[in-house]
Amino acid sequence: MNIILLGPPGAGKGTQAQHLVAERGMIQLSTGDMLREAKASGTEMGRKVADVMARGDLVTDEIVIGLIREKLNGEKGGGFIFDGFPRTLPQADALGQLLADCGETLDAVIEMQVDDEALVDRITSRSTCAGCGAVYNDKTKPIPADGICTSCGEKHEFKRRADDNEEALRNRLMEYYKKTSPLIGYYYAKDMLSTVDGLGSMEEVTASIASVLDA
């Protein structure tokens, strides 16, 4: 089963993707992770990525599609979760063509709906484990008093992203609504879109996503 998780920055896409990886054996395809992995790989594609990033340029859709193609032709696991891609309508078209070329299908597109004000409050309160990337929140999931991450069981530094402040987040939300939100209509028109309440508890959101996939 191949799925896309849609939602603004901080909606919880990464957290839910990690759960699907653990529970269903799916493979999370995060654009940022793939680019970092490629840069360190030393392959021809990796050298292209390193060169683009060294110049400070944006990585082209062609390169990202190439990286996804490599993943699709490798281990399948329980299917793929597309996280952070597509972000635009041309990328959605390119992904659809790529999946068809690889004999794959897109089985579900899940939009995690959130309220902007609640989202700002959530994001400005979050931090992550420097070791495994597990997300904590000052209000709903505080960092353990002993400093040991409940996900990896190790004692690491807990970091806040530099752009997890209100002004930066509102700018990221504006970019999302301008470029990525048209995907909601795109997949709705294809009768592929399901929505879940992204502001529920982590367990509630997990259950909502499971019900979509199991259906």
Q: Which of 24, 69, 141, 161 is catalytic?
A: 161
Q: Which of 13, 39, 48, 122 is catalytic?
A: 13
Q: Which of 39, 48, 122, 126 is catalytic?
A: 126
172 is known as an active-site residue: yes
13 is known as an active-site residue: yes
170 is known as an active-site residue: no
Q: Which of 76, 87, 155, 190 is catalytic?
A: 87
Q: How far does Cα 107 stand from its chain's mean position?
A: 17
State phi, psi for 6 to the nearest 5 degrees. -110, 150
Please list the active-site residues: 13, 87, 126, 161, 172
